[in-house]
Amino acid sequence: MAVNANVNVTMATADEQIRVSDTVKRELDRRRREGESYNDVLQRILEDDRDLMAGFGRWSDEQANRVREAREKSKQKSKDRMRRLAEDE
């Protein structure tokens, strides 16, 4: 059963409101930092979307290397599997 509930999120002043779904409200709550208003969190998210460099450099070198290594292992595993399948034909 689908429920289409709307939640009013009060913005900068009491007379400025937007309607968002429960799902969007939960996501805003999840992203909201301590002391942030809903307006603050929306503004931060929208600014990040406009900044092409936002998000770059968020991983440490160690984290990035682990991801690269895992990706290379996965690619090699896939190549090996394809080779085995081709040999079986």
Domain ranges of the chain: 1-56, 59-89
Higher-confidence residue of 29 and 16: namely 29
Give the tens place of pLDDT for each residue, 62-87. 888 999 999 999 999 999 999 998 88
Sequence-ordered alpha helix ranges (H) in the chain: 22-31, 38-50, 61-88
pTM equals 0.40
